[in-house]
Structure formats: C-alpha cells, structure tokens
Amino acid sequence: AEKAAAEKAAAEKAAAEAAWAAGAAERAAQRAAEEKEAARHAEELLAEVEAEKRAKGKKGKKKKKGGGGGAGPSQEPEDEAALATGEEAELAAALEESARLEEGRRAAEAQGPSSAAEAPAPREEEPPDDYVCSITHEVMSDPVMAADGYAYERSAIERWLATKSTSPMTGEALEHTFLSPSHMVRRQIREWQQAHPGQ
C-alpha cells in the first residue's frame, strides 16, 4: 500500500511538472507573440507619423511658395494640430500596450523562481529512474543489488532489512538479505552526474 501510494504521488508530481513546463512554454510563446505584435504596431504608427510629417512639410513649402489664400493658411495649423494630436494619442496607446506587455513579461519572470520551488525548472533533466533509490527517492551514491533484482542506496536498504525481510519494490519475501555492490550502476550514475553538473 505504501509503495502504491508513493508511486501514485510520484506519477502525480511528474504529471504536474510536465503540465507546468508545457504551460510555461506556451505562456512564454504567447507573451513573445504579443510583444512582437505590439512592437510592430508601434513601428507602423511611428512610420505613419513620420510619413505624414514629411508630406505636410512638402505641402507647407508649396503653399508658402504659392502665397496661399486668406482662410487656407489659418485653417491648416488647426488641422495639423488635430491630426498630430490623434496620431500622438495612437502612438501613446501603442507604447502603453507595449509597456504593459513588457511589465507582464517581467512579472512572469519574477514569479518564475517562486514557482520553481513547487516544480523544477523545465530545463533541468530528471535522472533516469534506475539511478534513483526507490526508498530515499534520491540519486544513489552507493548502489547495491538486492535479491529482488532492484538497486537501492546501501544505507537505505540496510535500514529496511533491519526490520523487514520483504522487497521494498514488490512487497514479496526476499530469498536472502545479501547485498552485492552494483559497480556498473554506480559508474553510470557518475557519468550522468558529470554530464549534468549540479544534479
């Protein structure tokens, strides 16, 4: 019953970690797409404003050369001011949206370390199950083979066998309590640890 509960808890933890990692990747991709769209929109608005300023500059120069009418020159500055105000409002809105998206991205990054306590970072590679003791649930440093054919951390299985004569994995009675060192598993664990420093 303990084994089944532990396996169920491990499976639930693995499923939660996988869901968290998938969700984090999806959220990051969505944020990147939103930021890219906001930046593109802001660039388009800036380009439009610049193009209109250039067009107005040319138009103003032509009117100055031609002399212009009585009502025309006095009305043009009002139109330009209204147009510039509208363009500035659009540009400000686009910049606000870009700033809001950037702030959201930073807030999500700031939350990252706190949620890392709940689940490991998606980039960390979990050790193979064969390298993890089923009693301690940690990577083994002194793996030994028991009569049930499974490898365990020496100190953990010795404590187990001090009070029980059954397999921690299967629950069945062990034929003997002799433990043999598993040199091959130890070497594989060390190689894996060298390839994944800090694990």
How sure is the predictor about 175, in pLDDT bands with cuts at 50, 70 and 90?
Answer: very high
Question: Angle of helix 2-66 relative to helix 72-116, nearest 10 degrees?
Answer: 170
The three-state secondary structure class of 144 is strand
How sure is the predictor about 116, in pLDDT bands with cuts at 50, 70 and 90?
Answer: very low
Is residue 180 within 8 A of residue 144, CB to CB? The reply is yes
41 vs 123, higher pLDDT: 41
Q: How far apart are CA 144 and CA 164, in angstroms?
A: 17
Is residue 160 within 8 A of residue 148, CB to CB? The reply is no
**142-157 residue pLDDT tens:** 999 999 999 999 999 9
How sure is the predictor about 140, in pLDDT bands with cuts at 50, 70 and 90?
Answer: very high
- Report the share of the chain in percent with pLDDT over 70: 63
Q: 18: how many CB neighbours lie within 10 A of its CB?
A: 12
- pLDDT for 84 equals 60
Range list of β-strands (E), 139-185: 143-145, 151-153, 180-181
**21-37 residue pLDDT tens:** 777 777 777 777 777 77
- Across all residues in the chain, what is the average pLDDT? 76
Distance of CA 106 to CAs 67, 111, 112, 115, 194, Å? 55, 9, 10, 14, 33
Map tokens 């400000």 to a residue: 92
Average pLDDT estimate for 109-117? 55
The one-letter code for the residue type at 13 is K
Identify the sign of the CA torsion 14, 19, 25, 31: negative
Q: How far apart are CA 179 and CA 156, in angstroms?
A: 12
**52-99 residue pLDDT tens:** 777 766 655 555 555 555 555 555 555 656 666 666 666 666 667 666
